[in-house]
Chain A
Amino acid sequence: MALSVGAVVFSARTFRSRCRVAAARLAAALVLALACGPALAKTAVILNSDDDSLSVIDTETYKETSRVHIGRQPHHLMPTPDKQHLILAMSGSNELVFLDLSTGMIKQRLIASDPYQIGFSPDGKWFVATSLRLDRIDIYDPSDYRLVHRLPAPTMPSHIGFSPDGSTTYITLQGTNNLVAIELEPGKVLWTVPVGRQPAGVFVRPSGTILVGIMGADYIAEVEPRDGSVIRRIHTGRGAHNFLLSLDGKTLYVSNRVAGTISALDADTLAVNGTMIAPGGPDDMALTPEGHELWVTGRWRASVNVIERTSGSLKARIPVGRSPHGIFLY
């Protein structure tokens, strides 16, 4: 045990300074895709969680241009608030990997315990990571990614949402069918309430009410932020999982992972306006920068579906690595 702890200390010191070769490979893949500069870049980045890899896809040709080993069990990714870096959460290798979006280089690898899903509070003051496997929520200060609070979260803390003022985080607990609200500054649990079978994605509306994808059923639940009570249920499709708001803020997409569909809801009324086919276990979603296409990872088919937004038709299915999860387009 002492040897291993020493090894951890050693590795933490040397780790950040000796990643050049792997970083170069990844950079080569991303720089090639970014040849015209970030503003003109047409690239999708997919995390293949069962392949320990990252796929780079040209969004114009719909071809995977590169697949790079990135670390153990990468699940989710998101840009930093200043849009300078892309953070990859590697739950199996216990790290957060920071990619420089302008160069494609790996800027930094930070040791972090089993990060599964990650998120920044809207005010940029907090960075939250859930540990799905180890039933824990970590709250960091993003100025230096120092761990501020570590909270037990039974069980299976999954997806993250934030109140509009950034003071509170809402996290689904898949194993206990609950949604938990945590005040970020003191790290205090405000309430924990049942919301439905195996709650997954979280989306907080501008009004402050919380939408939760109920993966064990066929609806999303709208939840009152003050006490967690369920206001109403909106039926979308079996395995309602995750959310994505369109660029114009008018349409809210819900991935239904069991049904293999995407529901398009009116973002104001939450009326279901349409349903699109997205086979293979649709999970995370992203829109192309101009908003014409919806890209969806298919967890069970090692592929990414590209859906034409206006017609709802499936334009392309792109093979990637096993169990693709997080997706980012730029």
Chain B
Amino acid sequence: MIDGLLQLIEQAQGTLFEGAIQPVLYQLGLMDWSEEAFDSVEFAMFGGLEIALAYLLFRPLELWRPVESWTERRAVRTDIVYTLVHRLGIVPAIIFLLLTPIGATIDGYLRFKGYIPPTLEQLIPPLIAWPFLTFLIYIVVIDLGEYWRHRLQHRLSWWWALHSLHHDQRQMTLWADDRNHLLDDVLKSVWSGTIALLIGVAPLEYPLVMIAFRLVESLSHTNVQLSFGRLGTPFLVGPQYHRLHHAIEHARPPFDRSMGCNFAVILPIWDVIFRTWRRAEEYPRTGVASLAGSPIRCGYLRHQLEGFRRLGIALAHLIDRRRPDFVAAFSRRDGRGQDAAA
């Protein structure tokens, strides 16, 4: 059945590419981008499949046992836009066009100096016989990298200014995973590209498994009262686990962004090892206490501009410490230290 599904996707990819994409490339004199465009069609198709599966699997959970219910869902609709532009390949295509020449230049320079990035199979030769195991090890290494990138996103003030776009969502749903600033996505690509330079890129053979992992990321943001329990929680990030990470209390002034918990993206083992695991049974409210109102309930483009604004304030503070930092600039406490009204 899996083979049949893959063959169906392959034929659909070929049909779409030959019918719609390749003629355009040919007319525009861009046939040297054929292979990348073909791969992009696959990316977009798998992205569409991810979106459909996430909706079919997780939306019923949100309806069945929601943590919260809202009458006004404009911010959720914005997250749907985020999901579409990311998973269907628009943002990845932009980043690819921006970063590929730079990455190829750096990689090419290193090759001229004699450095060829090894693959995991070259570092651990018995893995040649176990391609699926190799793939899983890549996932583990990449997830470790993502854990530490996430820690840095919370630790560095300028990076937190960007990452706060993801955390300012007070209506967290299955759509919230891709709620990120474009610059943050660029940084993520640079980060993962550096890892690829060190251990080689992951194998391409298991696209359906990659979809499964991305579904985990969607599930972890789902608005559902669901925990994997004491036995399951250490193995896979789930909704309750990740909701603790998004808890508004961790962003309450005086805010120490290096605190917080449950930074892992897929495998909670990193939180266990590096002692950032918080065990609790609650389902706290999400968001950033000092960020409220229209800057978080706005549409996609305005939200992106808001991210630039926050980044500008954070950088200005780094340059001139007399200027308010990002947290102080957005703090709107009332006399009782309560949250600003949403």
Task: Please report which residues of chain B, range 191-224, place their CB below 8 angstroms from some CB of chain A when the two chains form the complex.
Answer: 198-201, 203-205
Q: Mark A113-148, 1 if CB is under 8 A from B, else 0.
A: 110000000000000000101111000000000000
Total number of A residues with any Cβ neighbor in B under 8 Å: 58
A216:B29 contact, CB within 8 angstroms: yes
Q: Is A53 an interface residue (CB 8 A)?
A: yes
**What is the chain B residue whose CB lies nearest that of A68?**
B131
Q: How far is the CB of A58 from chain B (nearest CB, A)?
A: 19
- What range describes how many residues of B lie at the interface? 35 or more
Instruction: Tell me the interface secondary structure of chain B in the complex.
Output: helix
CB distance from A173 to the nearest CB of B (A): 10
| Neighbour of B111 across the interface among A72, A114, A302, CB < 8 A | A114
**Would you give the shortest CB distance from A98 to chain B, in whole angstroms?**
15
Residue of A nearest to B132 (CB): A69
B115 touches which of A5, A11, A175, A280 (Cβ 8 Å): A5
Across the interface, which residues of B come within 8 angstroms of A198, CB to CB? 29, 31-32
- Given contacts A72-B200, A319-B7, whether A300 and B116 have CB atoms under 8 Å apart is no
Complex CA–CA separation, A50 to B35 (angstroms): 10
**How many Å from the CB of B9 to the closest CB on chain A?**
10
| Cα–Cα, bound, A322→B35 (Å) | 12
Is A284 interfacial (CB-CB < 8 Å)? no
CB contacts (< 8 Å) of A135 on chain B: these are 104, 108
Q: Is A8 at the interface (CB under 8 A from chain B)?
A: yes
Q: Is A312 an interface residue (CB 8 A)?
A: no
Determine if A150 and B112 form an interchain contact, defined as CB atoms under 8 angstroms apart. yes
B108, B111, B116, B201 interface centre (most CB from chain A within 10 Å) = B116
Q: Contact: B117 with A4, CB < 8 Å?
A: yes
Which single member of B26, B112, B128 contacts A239 (CB below 8 Å)? Answer: B26
Q: Are B108 and A302 in contact (CB under 8 A)?
A: no
Residues A73 and B14 in contact, CB atoms below 8 Å apart: no
Residues of B close to A197: CB separation below 8 A:
29, 31
CB-based contact B104/A216 at 8 Å: no
Given the known interface contacts A11-B125, A238-B26, the answer about A92 and B201 at a Cβ–Cβ threshold of 8 Å is: yes
**Chain A residue nearest to B201 in the complex (CB):** A92
Q: How far is the CA of A10 from the CA of B121 in the complex (A)?
A: 12
Q: Give the Cβ gap from A80 to chain B, nearest Cβ, in Å.
A: 22
Residue of B nearest to A300 (CB): B14
Is A83 part of the binding interface, using a Cβ–Cβ cutoff of 8 Å? Answer: no
Which A-B residue pairs are the 6 nearest by beta carbons? Answer: A21-B129, A18-B125, A11-B122, A22-B128, A69-B131, A134-B108
A residues near B, CB below 8 A?
1, 4-5, 7-8, 10-12, 14-15, 18-19, 21-22, 25, 50-53, 69, 71-73, 92-94, 111-114, 131, 133-136, 150, 156, 174-175, 197-198, 215-216, 238-239, 257-258, 260, 280-281, 298-302, 319, 322-323
Q: List 5 A-B contacts (CB under 8 A).
A: A4-B117, A113-B116, A216-B32, A260-B18, A302-B7
